[in-house]
Amino acid sequence: MTEYLVMTREDEQAHASQSPKAMSELIEKSATYADELRRAGRLKDSGRLRPSKEGKRVRREGDRLTVRDGPFAEEGKALGSYCWVQAGSFDEATELVANAPVLPTDAIDVRPVMKGMCPRDKEAKPGKIFACAVLGCTKTEDAWVEVMDRIDEETHGRFPEASFLGGLRLEPPRSGRRIVTRGERRATFDGPFLESKEVIGGLFFVRMTSVEDAVRWAAETRFVVHGALEIRELWRT
Amino acid sequence: MADLTAIVDDTVRTERGRIVGGLLRLCGSLDAAEEAFQEAALAAVQAWREEAPSNPGAWLMTAAKNSARDARRRRAVAEAKAPLLVEDDMDTRDTIDTVSDDYLRLIFACCHPELAADNQIALTLKVVAGFSTAEIARAFVCSEGTVSQRILRAKQTIEEKSIGYGAPERMDLAERVSAVLGVVYAIFNEGHTGRSGPLMRLDLQAEALRLARLLCDLVPCEPEAFGALAIMAFGAARAHTRVDDEGLPILLAAQDRSRWNRELLREGLMALRRARALGGRGPYVLQAEIAAAHVTAPRWESTDWAAIVAAYDALAEVSPSPIVALNRAVAISMHAGPSAGLAALAALERPLADYHLFYATRADMLDRTGGDPRADLERAISLATNEAEKRLLERRLRDRPLTRG
């Protein structure tokens, strides 16, 4: 079994303008979908992010730390949810997510996991849970891998033990796949998606009292030296 | 520095609860903790004149701990104890768990079941939310003296009953959470439909919502906390469509659903999802289910009344009350017709003889079956205390002959 991270990239406006009934149905379908994956023994972890306008992006430019407020969107789409699954092959993983409940405007990225430490009971502990997406922004894959390696070395021990909940490092973008809806059908594209300026290289989870606290801790890590961090609160599900 | 006051005010309000909670552990008394916090807030106004610190919350916490430590030394000297014997446990580094426990300790003390309901509310708004006595008095349309008395009595009760500020016991968590939710919900309802004065006080509603969110962060495995958050989020989403230009209430059936706040609806739906995932079927979760059925219906006519009746049946079992029975009767009348509704109301006249909404409800059902609702409407008007509700009922009575032709 190999592990894959499935991420939805969403047109937030389309989600925000859903009718309450459609909103409720999508939420219920997502819950059922995650339950089914869990029952089948395929789900390691999943989560849904609160709107990107509540999020922060932290990066260092020279000596200056910059913190940008959301909303964030690449080509009009923001990270919306993630599912950490196990599958026998890439095709099987793609098949698993083919029926994921999404809006037609959403894209689904499937990316192989290089290594990871799965958060256990992350929903059960007090505090707000934040997903921190490590963003790489280099033109070539080699440089990207190097950047991620360097960031990876710095992952551990940077956060207070009680606050760090685990996370994962993804394989380079060329190994990923993107699924989009075209009319009635879903079409699949292979990576590396170099048209995207910033590609997600990993995801980790922290528990904090506020987004400001999360930004303060993030600023002390090396993530923001070599790349950027997008910090987004998770809904508790 | 035009922003200075804003930064201080903002920090003081958002950080207040967890800092006072932390001080409570160190000082052992609410008054001492509040005093130390007050000193720190005053010091901040001075110290931040040059430049606001990068972490205002941490700055305030350190300053408040220093004040508390000084006060303790002064007290030790006054009581002729050697200052060196004062235990210094103030430098332990806070983790997210100790901070959460501190906050919870404070909230649990303010909402302790031994305290009278009005006193709980006053103390919570003062200590946890940081409202001034004047603000609380305005919100509850009473004198500042009354509010001060309530706060004083609440603090006395805490002293007398030795309620103490021990670490929150995880064992009776559900019970303590339920007491807190009672207070938060009362604050929300006061903002929703006041006993008197303007129909809605949105600042109270916003504060109740903030407290409910905070509680969900502090006790993330208690389904009732998420149920209560869902109810309040659904209520707040509809708030601005509940009153017409004249300040009269607009009934759910006639509200403009397109103007309901989608963000708050989503928050409510996500909270309900969490409550369901935790297996919650308590009173707040069930009420949230009922509210969800209402807010997700595209139109009043397409409301899923069967689901609502089922939720009321369950609610009548876990928390039976005449009010629940009244609302259940309304749902039955919508699901199975007004005659079935009237039958369900029959047993309620005695327990609800003084409740204006019983008569208003029966008037509505009588109207729908072709009966004469006038006596019930008159009774409802004479019992209603909220001026806006009274005016609405009067309008119904006045308009009747016209609509009936």
Please give, rounded to a whole number of angstroms, the shortest distance from the CA of B258 to a CA of chain A: 9
Flag whether B135 is in a domain. no
Looking at residue B405, its pLDDT comes to 35
Average predicted confidence (pLDDT) for chain A: 88
> Of B27, B61, B88, which residue constitutes the final position of a domain?
B88
Q: What is the mean pLDDT of residues B136-144?
A: 85
**Residue B195, pLDDT score:** 47
Task: Give the separation between CA A227 and CA A225, rounded to whole angstroms.
Answer: 6
Instruction: Identify the closest residue of chain B to A53 by CA–CA distance.
Output: B263
Looking at B113-172, list the stretches that DSSP marks H as alpha helix, in order from N- to C-terminal side: 117-123, 133-139, 144-160
Query: Which of A78, A201, A219 is CA-nearest to residue A141?
Result: A201
Does residue B65 carry a pLDDT above 50? yes
Across the A:B interface, residue pairs with CB atoms under 8 Å apart total 81
What mean pLDDT is predicted for residues B12-32?
87
Q: What is the extent of the structural domain holding A58?
A: 2-233
Q: What is the pLDDT of residue B319?
A: 93
**Structural domain of B11:** 4-88
Closest Cα in chain A, distance from residue B50 (Å): 21
- The last residue of one of the domains, among B57, B88, B119, is B88
B-chain CB neighbours of A28 within 8 Å are: 273
B372 domain-assigned:
yes
Q: What is the pLDDT of residue A191?
A: 80
Query: What is the per-residue pLDDT across A208-218, written as a single tens digit (0 to 9) for each?
Result: 999 998 998 88
Q: In residues, how long is chain A?
A: 237
Asked if residue B394 is part of any domain, the answer here is yes
Residue B262 at interface with chain A, using a CB cutoff of 8 Å: yes
pLDDT of residue A39: 96
Instruction: Give the mean pLDDT of B148-152.
Output: 96
Which of B 35-94 lie inside 8 A of A, CB atoms?
54-55, 57
B75 inside domain: yes
Q: Tell me if B375 is assigned to some domain.
A: yes
3-state secondary structure of B236: helix
- In this prediction the pTM is 0.91
In a domain, B198, yes or no: no
Query: Which among B218, B262, B273 has CB closest to A126?
Result: B218
Q: Are B298 and A237 in contact (CB < 8 Å)?
A: no
Report the CATH number at residue A157: 3.30.70.1060
Final residue in a domain of this structure, among B60, B88, B116: B88
How confident is the model over B173-201, as pLDDT tens digits? 888 899 999 999 999 988 765 544 454 46
Residue B174: the pLDDT is 86
- Examine residue B178 and state whether it is found in any structural domain, yes or no: no
Nearest to B220 among A27, A126, A210 (CB): A126
Q: How many domains does chain A have?
A: 1
DSSP state of B349: T
- For residue B303, is pLDDT > 80? yes
User: How far does the CA of residue B265 sit from the closest CA of chain A (Å)?
Assistant: 7
DSSP B352: T
Asked if A75 is an interface residue toward chain B (Cβ–Cβ < 8 A), one would say no
List, for residues A121-167, the tens digit of each pLDDT value: 899 999 999 999 988 766 666 766 776 777 666 666 667 778 889 88
DSSP state of B254: G
Q: Is the CB of B95 less than 8 angstroms away from the CB of A160?
A: yes
Per the structure, the count of domains in chain B is 2
pLDDT value at position A154?
A: 65
> Which chain A residues contact residue B226 at CB under 8 A?
236
Ranges B133-147, B211-225, B319-333: which has the least confidence: B133-147
Task: pLDDT band for B240, please (50, 70, 90 cuts).
Answer: confident
Q: How far apart are CA B121 and CA B254, in angstroms?
A: 33
Q: Is A71 on the interface with B (CB under 8 A)?
A: no
Mean per-residue pLDDT, B154-177: 79
Percent of chain A at pLDDT above 70? 89
Closest residue in chain B to residue A122, using alpha carbons only: B220
Residue B175 has a pLDDT of: 86
Q: What would the mean pLDDT of A66-91 be, rounded to a whole number?
A: 93
Tell me which residue of A143, A121, A122 sits closest to A132, measured CA to CA: A122
